[in-house]
Structure 1
Amino acid sequence: MDLSIVIVNYNTKRLTMDCIKSVINSKIGFTYEIFVVDNASTDGSCEEIIATSLNVELIQNKENVGFSRANNQAIEQSTGRYVLLLNSDTIVNENTLNTMLQFMDINQAIGASGCEVNLPDGSLDKACHRGFPTPSASLYYMLQLSRFFPRNPKFNAYHQSYLNMKSIHEIDCLVGAFMLIRREAINEVGMLDEEFFMYGEDIDWCYRIKEAGWKNYYNPTVSIIHYKGASSRKKPFKIVYEFHRAMYLFHKKHFARKYPFIINGIVYCGIGLKLGVSALSNLAKHGR
């Protein structure tokens, strides 16, 4: 098997069906399998998949186990030379999969790669092209210095948009909405860290892949459409909490030992403060 595609579904029945169909309708010149892992959806997603007799492997969880664990469930059963993490709220363009696999086959030093990810309005989903969130990169990003110094690598270290966004190049971090990983890289660094519930696991994986000596690459010659946030609108405070918890987990895991106590304290306080502000804003917006 050449490619194992893993789609995690949580109450996004229509989007998931459209995503699967976009894969099936792609121009694919290789063997592939599709896994759909359902995290206890209540919108009839599993019934729809079964009723339409789509050629997918369906894993049905009795509870929402999160993004990392759900992906790992499918990866454990998969047999492809490559594994593709694909969000349920994406549409794959017809040439994307072929091009990306050919790209990986030609470039054996690449452990993970991603394509251009566009939002429905045609703008770039900036999460598909990132540097690692070091304390300085995160600070400059929060202060929005990248808006004033877009060509400065220091102040724009988080999204690294000072690079040529239309050329193929090495990048620190891809996005889990579309991440193509070489099986050998997975065997070497391990699977997704299940401590991350639904944010940060892609950054963590990219960090470990790069630390192991593999390269992460951004290939904007092909693209997908990302209807961003479709499955995260159901429990807004839960999403806010998990987003900030992922920041804490990533820093503690990879950066805490590299920085003095005072820097770590500032980082943790900053995350806590940002969580508080975001929670209050969320409460005002949703009334709960």
Structure 2
Amino acid sequence: MLLSVIIVSYKVPQYLQLCLESLTRSLKNIDSEIIVVDNASEDATIPLVKTAFPQVKLLVNSENKGFSKANNQGVAVAKGKYLCILNPDTMVPETCFQDVLAFAEKKDDLGAVGVRLIDGTGNFLPESKRNLTTPKVSIQKLLSNGNSYYATNLDETETGKVAILVGAFMFLKRQLYQEVGGFDERFFMYGEDIDLSYVITQKGYSNYYLGKVTVLHFKGESTVKDRQYALRFYGAMRLFARKHFHKSNLFDRLLGFAIKLISQTYAAQEIKKPINLGFERRYWVSDTPNLNDQPDDILRLNWDGLRAAYSEKPQHSRFIFDLEGSRTADVITAMQQLKNRQNTFRIRPSNCNFSCGSDSAHHRGQVL
């Protein structure tokens, strides 16, 4: 088998449905398997996978074992030459794995491969490519200075070597994953991708950022950005620094104190709600000929009509993309063409009565 895709899911059944539909399209004609490890979601996830995607291998945990341990569970039963660690709140274009596999097969020093990620507003996510998270970089990140945290030397659409990739999409050989011991299970959530990226380079391999492949990552659908999030995120940086760089108890205590201060800032922001952008008009985008349940106040656009509208730069609009009559690659392109003009986006998986999307990388998304 050529490829195994591992997805750890936690309480995001609608986003997982979107992800699995896009994966099914992208893996067509590729000898592959999809493995979903559910971390005790206790919602519609299990019946969804069993009913809508019976070909998916499903592992069900009775408790939330965290990102690292659950991924290691999935890899333990995987059969592919390559692995892709993928978040459930992602949507991949049809040619995603065809392009990544073609790139990987040409590299003798292949470590892990990452791709260009965009959020639910169509904007680039800079954590797609990062520098090594040294203690100095960690402190700067704590102080909201991300210039040294992100690999800004490489343009977002370029391809090149980077130190650190993001766990939302990490592609590598299964043999290499096993060689380095997989994800360090001391990282419950966050930091495990930094650690794995670094360990791979320490073994003499190179990590690559592939900027020509764009994947939608709604980001944070399994996590609320609150005080607990801050403690876990920056605590993971502390663990990474302790593991690889600093054995100093004094430095460790200082970093721990700084993390507590930062977490208090997050706690003060917990009551804030996502900004409601609103919209003046709604568009349903699809090439499906009929839509019986289309609301009276929604405007119909086929894909040719939407592309023609790009030059008009529509604003204050909500675009609902129906995957039943759309390519995932076209949806990803459209979001980037229409971004930053107070437009919002929702995506309806095929044959579903809901759509999902996110208007901010800092807040949970919305299912309608």
| TM-score, normalised via structure 1 length | 0.88
Q: Take 1:262 and 1:27, find their aligned partners in 2: how far apart are those partners?
A: 50
Superposition pairs of residues 174-193 of structure 1, within 5 angstroms? 174-193=165-184
- The residue number in structure 2 matching 1:78 is 78
> Relative contact order (C-alpha < 8 Å, sep 6+): which is higher?
1
Q: Take 1:27 and 1:55, find their aligned partners in 2: how far apart are those partners?
A: 12
- The 3-state SS of whatever aligns with 2:63 is coil
Contact persistence 2:228–2:263 (CA under 8 A): no
- The residue number in structure 2 matching 1:266 is 254
- The residue number in structure 2 matching 1:229 is 220
Contact persistence 1:119–1:225 (CA under 8 A): yes
Gaps of at least 5 residues in structure 1 are 147-155
* Counterpart selection for 1:220 from 191, 211, 214: 211
Q: Take 2:269 and 2:188, find their aligned partners in 1: how far apart are those partners?
A: 22
Contact persistence 1:37–1:58 (CA under 8 A): yes
Superposition pairs of residues 242-281 of structure 1, within 5 angstroms? 242-257=232-247, 263-281=251-269
Contact persistence 2:142–2:259 (CA under 8 A): no
Structure with more of its chain in helix, by fraction: 1
**CA separation of 1:77 and 1:27: change in aligned 2, threshold 3 A:** closer
Contact persistence 2:138–2:237 (CA under 8 A): no
How far the C-alpha of 1:100 sits from its partner, in A, is 0.4
Contact persistence 2:142–2:234 (CA under 8 A): no
Q: Take 2:219 and 2:43, find their aligned partners in 1: how far apart are those partners?
A: 19
- The residue number in structure 1 matching 2:93 is 93
How far the C-alpha of 1:267 sits from its partner, in A, is 2.7
Q: Take 1:142 and 1:231, find their aligned partners in 2: how far apart are those partners?
A: 22
Q: How many residues were matched structurally? A: 273
Q: Take 2:115 and 2:36, find their aligned partners in 1: how far apart are those partners?
A: 21
- Whichever residue aligns with residue 252 of structure 1, its letter is R
- Whichever residue aligns with residue 22 of structure 2, its letter is S
Give the number of the structure whose alpha-carbon radius of gyration is greater: 2
Superposition pairs of residues 19-34 of structure 1, within 5 angstroms? 19-26=19-26, 28-34=28-34
Superposition pairs of residues 5-154 of structure 1, within 5 angstroms? 5-26=5-26, 28-144=28-144
- The 3-state SS of whatever aligns with 2:222 is helix
Q: Take 2:201 and 2:179, find their aligned partners in 1: how far apart are those partners?
A: 11
String of CA shifts for 1:58-112, please: whole Å, max 9, x gaps: 0011111111111111100001111111100000011111100111111121110
| TM-score, normalised via structure 2 length | 0.70
RMSD of the alignment, in Å? 2.0
- The residue number in structure 1 matching 2:154 is 163
How far the C-alpha of 1:193 sits from its partner, in A, is 0.8
Gaps of at least 5 residues in structure 2 are 274-368
How far the C-alpha of 1:160 sits from its partner, in A, is 1.9
